[in-house]
A and B are shown apart, each in its own frame.
Chain A
Amino acid sequence: MKKSLGAVAAAAAIAISLSACGGGSASSAESAKGEINYWLWDANQLPAYQQCATDFQKANADITVKITQRGWEDYWSTLTNGFVGGTAPDVFTNHLGRYGELAENKQLLAIDDAVEKDNVDLAAYNEGLADLWVGQDGKRYGLPKDWDTIGLFYNKAMTDSAGLTAEQMAKLDWNPQDGGSYEKAIAHLTVDKNGKRGDEPGFDKNNVAVYGLGLNGGGDSSGQTEWSYLTNTTGWSHTDKNPWGTHYNYDDPRFQESMDWFAQMVEKGYMPKLETTVGASMADTFAAGKSAINAHGSWMTGQYTSYKGLDVGIAPTPVGPEGKRASMFNGLADSIWAGTKKKDAAIKWVEYLASAECQDVVASKAVVFPALKSSSDKAAEAFKAKGVDVSAFTGHVKDNTTFLYPITDNTAKVKGIMEPAMDAVVSGKKPASSLTEANNQVNALFK
């Protein structure tokens, strides 16, 4: 209680004048009967997990699961308020970029004993996913639930009229000097208001009707969907080691060269200006026919393929200078709050979420790829049944061309520094060499 009063006071002191910061709290469990609260942020996945909860309750009549979905924007601050105020959910969907800090502040329950006692087979998950959730102290803070990789969504009508076949789209290569066949394809797909293509003489870069490549934003510290699928094919990686690196590498010439190329795409008129991307979502502008290719995450597959009258293909990300593709491999997990009063029920629920029963249900809804290998395959089939070929995403896992989301301490602060720095580069205000200065600031956080 002492803690919570202090925190409320602190929040109030700072927020006297901050109005409208989302509040709210989850109703805490009233009795030992066993209602557990579970939070997730992705509304698309809610139906699948609701189904899991119903099945779970059938098998465990004494436990009820109350699921709350909260948008990503408020998710983490509401969760933090809950930790301090004692109203946090017993179980919640956790993110790699966040859990290190939460574990360090002792907000997560280590579940090693339960995992051992209940014989959870960690080898059944896609490679590396289970290890991600072992903290710096060697303890396990979550069981993996899903994973995602990056691919190229493209407008088939546009590639057809540009004379690009699906085979060609699947065999693109890229390098930071001339952009390889990837840049050639993007240039050819770019069309100005007079109908001239980006690689034709007389192309008017100031009046572009269709951009070859869409832009989501500057990509801040991770560049998950924006640029990491390119930068990390050069042999560069975000940090000295992963997970738990203590040094970031935004000063590396390979990275800066890649980012200069990326910014040039805007300069050449092949990619929209950063300032025009504030507001409408990248997927919606793609659907409106404003871009031909969008690099985006596998979790967006449902949205891209659901626009009426839009024929969408999915190509793998291009092959880089070292002869390999690269995709960030991000995975979520379910974690238990250290302050839960329903520890055993929470463990049961987490193990159920991580089991084939639940992950097969998730797979059948064809929204994300479950963490279990067997369920992953089922998800791919479910997508196929909907007429969507997701091999561009699964290929990364099969060919082992993934790299992990950078897991370090201070991730929120790193993002705070890198977001404006990357925006300045992508908007052409500063050269990529300016990232060295930002990198020094980032690395100063680890001293």
Chain B
Amino acid sequence: MTTITKLPDPVAGGSKPQHRGKTLLRAGRGRRLGDLRIALLFIAPAMIGFIFFYVVPTIRGVYLSFTEYNILGDPEWVGLDNYTAIAQDPLFWNSLAVTGQYVLINIALQTALALGLALLMHRVAKSTLIRGALLLPYLMSNVIAALLWFWMLDYQIGVVNQFIEWAGLPRVAFFGSEEWAIPTQALINTWRHMGYTALLIFAGLQAIPGHLYEVAKLDGASAFQTFRKITIPLLRPVLVLVLVVTVIGSFQVFDTVAVTTQGGPVNATRVIQYYIYQRAFTESDFGYGSAIAVILFLILALVAFIQMKFLKGNESDLD
């Protein structure tokens, strides 16, 4: 789009020197229209996909959130009924609390570990093999990672609990106890995503000009001071991007829960996406499910907005 608004530039206009003045404007406009057509043509595939797979379903979903709809019949308009019911639904509030707990544990751990890994990759581990190996867990599908850990952490037959018992400690019901269920799922996803997040941060680290570090060194700054005063501020745009993406991703936790605890024990892992799935697909209440989905959308939009606004993610101190 920017190329269109920047036209016409004088050089392009100068291709026909005998028609300066008004004609240049007209020629520019004609050219602009021609470019627009071509631009639209190139945008079309993405645009059509965006409209049919994002815009239309979103509008439809918002519409359905005001209806009672069991997918087999026709949707019936019920106004705000779903929303007032959600406001009084303890399971909805529980799902928010549970999801919040998951997001906090997941983001805090994942970001800290990924930052550490990225620094190690930047300073110590220059080998491509090691850098690549960090990405291995991410290459595994979520479901397989979840099932693998589900098996390894099993109370009765899991290898982890065998080790815990050998160490003389009581076995831990990682997935079965209400206290452990969410932290366990958060740890699994941290394990899986850490390498990928580290890679994003690592890319940000490489964009920081080396001379800044040299100057800091000359000024006698300690490693910690350099990290705090140079690395972190200059890494901020990347960190904000990483935070926005991982926070939104964490809010959408579903597959790990769906293949392991399915909301239980009691309601300990009934995260918001699983609750949406349960209401819509298991209990055939698509209107109610859509309404929660709309609320989740609003929450995520707000969270992303706050993050961008207060962390100034769209500005860099390098400029």
Contacts and interface: CB of A to CB of B under 8 A. Distances in A.
29 contacts: A13-B61, A13-B64, A13-B290, A14-B61, A14-B290, A16-B57, A17-B252, A17-B254, A17-B273, A18-B254, A18-B277, A19-B142, A19-B254, A80-B72, A84-B72, A105-B70, A105-B72, A107-B72, A274-B265, A275-B176, A275-B178, A275-B265, A278-B261, A279-B154, A413-B283, A420-B266, A420-B267, A423-B264, A423-B266
Nearest to B73: A105
Contacts of A166: none
Interface in A412-436: 412-413, 416, 419-420, 423-424, 427, 429
Given A19-B254, A279-B154, A420-B264, 13 more contacts: A9-B60, A14-B280, A16-B57, A18-B254, A19-B255, A20-B141, A20-B143, A105-B73, A276-B176, A288-B157, A413-B283, A416-B279, A420-B270
Nearest to A280: B156
Interface of A: 6-7, 9-10, 12-14, 16-21, 77, 80, 83-84, 101, 105-107, 273-280, 284-285, 288, 290, 412-413, 416, 419-420, 423-424, 427, 429
A424 B264 CA distance: 10
Contacts of B141: 20
Contact of A278 (B143, B155, B267, B293): B155
Contacts of B70: 105
A123 B150 CA distance: 48
B319 to A, nearest CB: 34
Contacts of B178: 275, 427, 429
A12 B142 CA distance: 20
A80 B285 CA distance: 13
Interface string B39-79: 00000000000000110111011101000011111010000
A10 B173 contact: no
A188 B186 CA distance: 41
Contacts of A273: 173, 176
B60 A285 contact: no
B316 interface: no
- Scoring B54, B70, B265, B267 by chain A CB atoms within 10 A of each residue's CB, the highest score goes to B265
B283 A416 contact: yes
Counting contact residues on chain B (CB < 8 A from A), the size range is 35 or more
Nearest to A7: B71
Contact of A10 (B64, B73, B175, B270): B64
A83 B156 contact: no
Contacts of B282: 77, 412, 416
Nearest to A430: B266
Contact of A6 (B60, B150, B263, B277): B60
Contacts of A12: 53, 57, 61
Contacts of B58: 13, 16
Interface in B230-288: 252, 254-255, 258, 260-261, 263-267, 270, 273, 276-286
A13 B57 CA distance: 5
A142 to B, nearest CB: 18
Q: Is the interface of A mostly helix, strand, loop or mixed?
A: helix
Contacts of A107: 72
Given A19-B254, A276-B176, A10 B290 contact: yes
The 10 closest A-B pairs by CB, nearest first: A13-B61, A275-B176, A278-B176, A105-B72, A275-B173, A12-B57, A13-B57, A279-B154, A9-B60, A17-B252
Nearest to B270: A420
A273 B261 CA distance: 16
A14 B276 CA distance: 8
Contacts of B56: 9
Given A13-B61, A420-B267, A423-B265, A18 B176 contact: no
A21 B281 contact: yes
Contacts of B206: none
Contacts of A9: 56-57, 60-61
B156 A290 contact: yes
B173 A276 contact: yes
A139 to B, nearest CB: 17
Contacts of A416: 278-279, 282-283
A429 B178 CA distance: 10
Contacts of B261: 278
A279 B176 contact: yes
Nearest to B157: A280
A219 B60 CA distance: 37
B137 to A, nearest CB: 17
B290 A278 contact: no
Nearest to A107: B72
A313 to B, nearest CB: 23
Contacts of A277: 176
Contacts of B183: none
Given A7-B71, A17-B252, A80 B266 contact: no
B155 A80 contact: no
Contacts of A84: 71-72
A419 B269 CA distance: 13
Given A276-B173, A420-B266, A14 B71 contact: no
